[in-house]
Amino acid sequence: MMNKSTRGTMFLAVLLFLSVAIVHAQEGKTTIKKTPIPNTSAASGEEMFNTYCAVCHGKSGKGDGPASSEFKIAPANLTVLAKNNNGKFPSDYVSQVILTGPRDAKAHGSKDMPVWGRLFRSLSDQGVVKLRIFNLSNYIETLQEK
């Protein structure tokens, strides 16, 4: 039989263990918070990329953004688009993906990635939507591996 002091020590040890386990379990979870689309300059592809894309694709475009671990299928590595297209950056394809999502829609469109064209239209007129997509695509081109 345990004395009162031993039971108290055991109780504190168990309580400490449970507290550490609960904190550790909470730290392991990443929460992706959905917020309204922030306004950015249509003239800056870099600003739009950092605001809209980097959370999943990473600032370098390699698919390693802070939210990337939460997807079943990792975000695309945008730095190899030209490499995977015989050395030519597929600007028309990238613009189309920004506007409507990719053809294969593995992690895009209504599933995970917002279709930015639809969201851009809610912010601006058609001319500005085209400017945004053009400048964002041009910025993604600058991220290509050399």
* 64-79 residue pLDDT tens: 999 888 888 888 999 9
The CATH number given to 45-142 is 1.10.760
pLDDT band at 117 (very low <50, low <70, confident <90, very high): confident
* 3-12 residue pLDDT tens: 544 444 443 4
* 24-64 residue pLDDT tens: 444 555 565 666 778 899 999 999 999 999 998 999 999 99
Q: What ranges do the domains of the chain cover?
A: 1-30, 45-142
- Please give the full DSSP string across 40-94, using - where no structure is assigned: --TT-HHHHIIIIIHHHH-TTSSS--TTGGG-SSPPP-GGGTTGGGTTS--HHHH
Torsion of CA 34, 37, 41, 43, to 10 degrees: 90
